Structure 1
Amino acid sequence: MNIIKSIFKPRDKPKNHTGDGIGGGRSFPFGRTWSGKSVTERSAMQTTAVYACVRIISETVASLPIHLYEYTDSGKERAFTHPLYRLLHDIPNPEMNSFIMREVMMSHLLLWGNSYSQIIRNGKGEVTALYPLMPEKMRIDRGADSKIYYTYNSDKQGTFVFRKDEILHIVGLGFDGLVGYSPIAMAKNAIGLSIAAEEYGSSFFSNSGTPSGVLEHPGVLKEPEKVRDAWNDAYGGSSNAHKVAVLEEGMKFNPISINPHEAQFLETRKFQVNEICRIFRVPPHMIADLEKSSFNNIEQQSLDFVTNTIRPWLVRIEQTIFQQLLTEEEQKKYFVKFNVDGLLRGDFKSRMSGYAIGRQNGWYSANDIRELEDMNKIPKELGGDRYLCNGNMVDINNAGNYNSGGESENE
């Protein structure tokens, strides 16, 4: 009998391959790009498109309610009394609220590909606080016992080593499933080109919006540096724009650079915005690029954003919390879930039409609808929990029995 062994080796050290050369076999040190600009997670945030994409995703995930649920005989209900509920929903630690904590976690995931938080437990093993840690200061190793350990280098307090159960590690897309790689590092060439285009535009306008060139003199100049510096002082910079130049002794100015229109400067900048949106899977209209959006498709694009961009991140976070913050015994009774109903709701007229269909066909009560609209419930004695159905809808087996006076099969 042949025994097939797994090729996955749990003893292997987790790796982050973002420092390797990526793209056509041409290798650069981490941060260097083909445009010549250095790109890191922090410098990328100075690009408006990157900042806008990171902000829209982080704020959207942070604004969604997150609940801890308990399985019941009738389905599920919120586990308000569990210590983890308030920690996730309201206050993860004394220094920040849940919105800020999740916003920081998402920004780390979007920039570094990993989110690390220190888990504080009490004597009973219950989680009492979560503190975010900077991904750039974390190193992951596998010890001699084949277990994973996290080494955190704090600038002021030294080096700390944490066990796996002491760190809430949300892993982004990665090669080995244990460490995520940085989206910024993987797309550094596209972001580097965007930075280069911004720098080119800034340089152009700082030079009064005129191209560089050569001052040509018919004779021999003893001190050409002084002539050049005098020209720059008189006509360089945006404050000297549109000044009339005066050339003496037969001197001529010959431009040698390509103007922005010929270099397709604006087209390049627009394309790089779409490139960065493609990296983060954000519809361009959400970062104020409305060129290809209209009233007919913008709502559908927003729903697509929730389904294809936000939902995968939510599932990633939910399953990590379930795995790392709940004990094996608790996992049989509890689960974590984000509420995305608010993002998926359509306009008022569409919602009311949907509620009316559900109400008339018996799967919505008045209180079910009011709860979805964040309204107070109607008291039970007034019929708020009653389920109704349209009177002209009967079982096909009983059709005609009521009008003919006959008895139905269910009586």
Structure 2
Amino acid sequence: MGYLSKMWKAQGSSTGQWPFTKQWLQDLFIGRQTHTGIPLSEDRALTFTAVYACVHIIAQTIATLPLNVYRTLPTGGKARAPDHSLHRVLHSVANPEMTSFSFRETLQGHLGLWGNAYAEKQFNGYGEVVALWPLRPDRTRPFRDPDTKELKYQTTFSNGETVTLPFKNVLHIPGFGFDGLVGYNPIDIAAQSISLGLAAEEFGARFFGNGAVVSGVLEHPGTLGEPGRKNVRQSFNEMHQGLSNAHRLMILEEGMKYQQIGIPPQTAQFLETRKFQITDIARFYHIPPHMIADLERSTNNNIEQQSLDFVKNTMLPWFTRWEQSMDMRLLNDTEQGRLFTKFMVNGLLRGDIKSRYEAYHIAKLDGWMNTDDIRELEDMNPIGGDVGTKYWMPTNYTYADQPTPKPSPKGGEPTK
């Protein structure tokens, strides 16, 4: 990042003071206070397996799909623009230290945890974007310059240096928010639900790690002195405490009696609480439960439909958010309208092989796909020539604006 620091100084970026408010410092170093008593930060939230799974699934989906730059054609179609400098940044290498996959996965992870993703643009001598560098969302904030009314970004690095970046130097992808400029922090909104899930996990871990499974009260008919109590407690813990000693035979001496106390986890609906919190987090991130290994309500018949629902109702808004932000922030005024970015989502919408081949068969017979179109969707090389590029047309089809021929008299020509 030393190179970027030089760039900032060369561009004359002004420095500012980060607004270290009491609440901001508390959230950063201690975590949000929740009703469960567990301080919650973004890093702590990620230790809850349901949160990690949901954030990771969306991030990997964004990172896995090919992302291309396209050029509009005079005929109304589109063509890839691999010669554009931005194509390599988005499709292959985001910067000298990160692949496009890692870059997109990182930024989508920031969106899933902080609700905003920021990256600084690196330009070449022609003003073209040749690299994108992620910025920490917890150390970056947009603000409006009180003098010029322009939107700027202030970010602080790990060494404590704070810089102000102009609007044109930052790619900002905001999540769902209140003003269209800054996204809500998902962990703020779901703090109580996430902390309840963490509390259930901690309860289970402490129950099996510290508590004797046969926990209860030892009653002695006489009076034990301090050494006697220590010996009984030590020997009892050594024999019965911890998961490895669960259900061992208990031997009592000197007329002692054991009385079990406490509420078992089943009675306290411990397992049900954990299961509900996993479903609750899946609902929050709009992830089908089967994708985070909750198969209770899934069948072979509905999993495919749920997967398609994931693409259309979960990922499509994210794709659109990314594409429009990149078109607005990464293309200059002359390129906007002529160039655009787009994820290739066809692979996610494909069904099983039988359904795909049946759909291809219909498309080819109806004349709106040729053999090479189909082979491209199946990641196969084109055949070329008439066999690959020709479009079929059923002989009994005609144009809608043409009159339908009337049956001809016997032995005569068709009449119109």
TM-score relative to the length of structure 1: 0.86
Aligned to 2:182: 179
CA distance in 1, matches of 2:91, 2:160: 30
From 390, 393, 405, the counterpart of 2:394: 390
SS in 2 for 1:160: strand
The structural deviation recorded for 1:250 is 3.9
SS in 1 for 2:61: helix
Aligned to 1:43: 44
Aligned to 1:213: 216
SS in 1 for 2:159: coil
CA distance in 1, matches of 2:274, 2:362: 48
2:92 maps to 1:90: yes
CA distance in 2, matches of 1:153, 1:302: 40
Residues 323 and 213 from structure 1, CA distance in 2 versus in 1: closer, same or farther, beyond 3 angstroms?
same
* AA in 1 matched with 2:196: L
The structural deviation recorded for 1:234 is 3.6
The structural deviation recorded for 1:221 is 4.0
CA distance in 2, matches of 1:87, 1:407: 62
**8 Å CA contact retained: 1:208, 1:242:** no
From 323, 331, 340, the counterpart of 1:326: 331
2:149 maps to 1:141: no
Larger mean Cα displacement after TM superposition, 51-60 or 218-227 = 218-227
From 394, 405, 411, the counterpart of 1:399: 405
The structural deviation recorded for 1:112 is 0.8
Larger mean Cα displacement after TM superposition, 44-53 or 392-401 = 392-401
* AA in 2 matched with 1:206: G
Aligned to 2:305: 300
**CA RMSD after TM alignment:** 2.4
Aligned to 1:313: 318
CA distance in 2, matches of 1:404, 1:52: 73
CA distance in 1, matches of 2:286, 2:61: 14
Q: Could you list the per-position Cα deviations for residues 74-101 of structure 1 after superposition, in whole angstroms to 9, with x for gaps in the alignment? A: 2111111111111111111011111111
SS in 2 for 1:110: helix
The structural deviation recorded for 1:149 is 2.5
CA distance in 1, matches of 2:102, 2:163: 24
* AA in 1 matched with 2:413: G
From 167, 170, 176, the counterpart of 1:167: 170
CA distance in 2, matches of 1:185, 1:326: 33
Q: Could you list the per-position Cα deviations for residues 100-142 of structure 1 after superposition, in whole angstroms to 9, with x for gaps in the alignment? A: 1111111110011111111111222111100112212223332
SS in 2 for 1:331: coil
The structural deviation recorded for 1:190 is 1.1
2:71 maps to 1:63: no
Residues 140 and 253 from structure 1, CA distance in 2 versus in 1: closer, same or farther, beyond 3 angstroms?
farther
CA distance in 2, matches of 1:264, 1:42: 28
SS in 1 for 2:336: helix
* AA in 1 matched with 2:299: S
Kindly report which structure 2 residues correspond to 1:11-410, keeping only aligned pairs within 5 A, or say none. 31-74=32-75, 75-145=77-147, 146-156=149-159, 158-207=161-210, 210=213, 212-223=215-226, 224=229, 227-380=232-385, 382-395=386-399, 397-400=403-406, 404-405=412-413
Where in structure 2 are there 5+ consecutive unaligned residues?
Answer: 1-18, 25-29
**8 Å CA contact retained: 1:67, 1:338:** yes
The structural deviation recorded for 1:72 is 0.9
CA distance in 2, matches of 1:219, 1:188: 51
The structural deviation recorded for 1:226 is 5.8
The structural deviation recorded for 1:357 is 1.6
**8 Å CA contact retained: 2:90, 2:100:** yes
Residues 333 and 278 from structure 1, CA distance in 2 versus in 1: closer, same or farther, beyond 3 angstroms?
same
Where in structure 1 are there 5+ consecutive unaligned residues?
Answer: 1-14, 21-28
CA distance in 2, matches of 1:316, 1:272: 28
TM-score relative to the length of structure 2: 0.85
The structural deviation recorded for 1:216 is 3.6
Residues 301 and 366 from structure 1, CA distance in 2 versus in 1: closer, same or farther, beyond 3 angstroms?
same
**8 Å CA contact retained: 2:110, 2:137:** yes
Larger mean Cα displacement after TM superposition, 246-255 or 110-119 = 246-255
Larger mean Cα displacement after TM superposition, 68-77 or 205-214 = 205-214
SS in 1 for 2:93: coil
The structural deviation recorded for 1:343 is 0.4
* AA in 2 matched with 1:130: L
The structural deviation recorded for 1:293 is 0.5
**8 Å CA contact retained: 2:405, 2:415:** no
Larger mean Cα displacement after TM superposition, 312-321 or 139-148 = 139-148
**Number of residue pairs matched?**
382
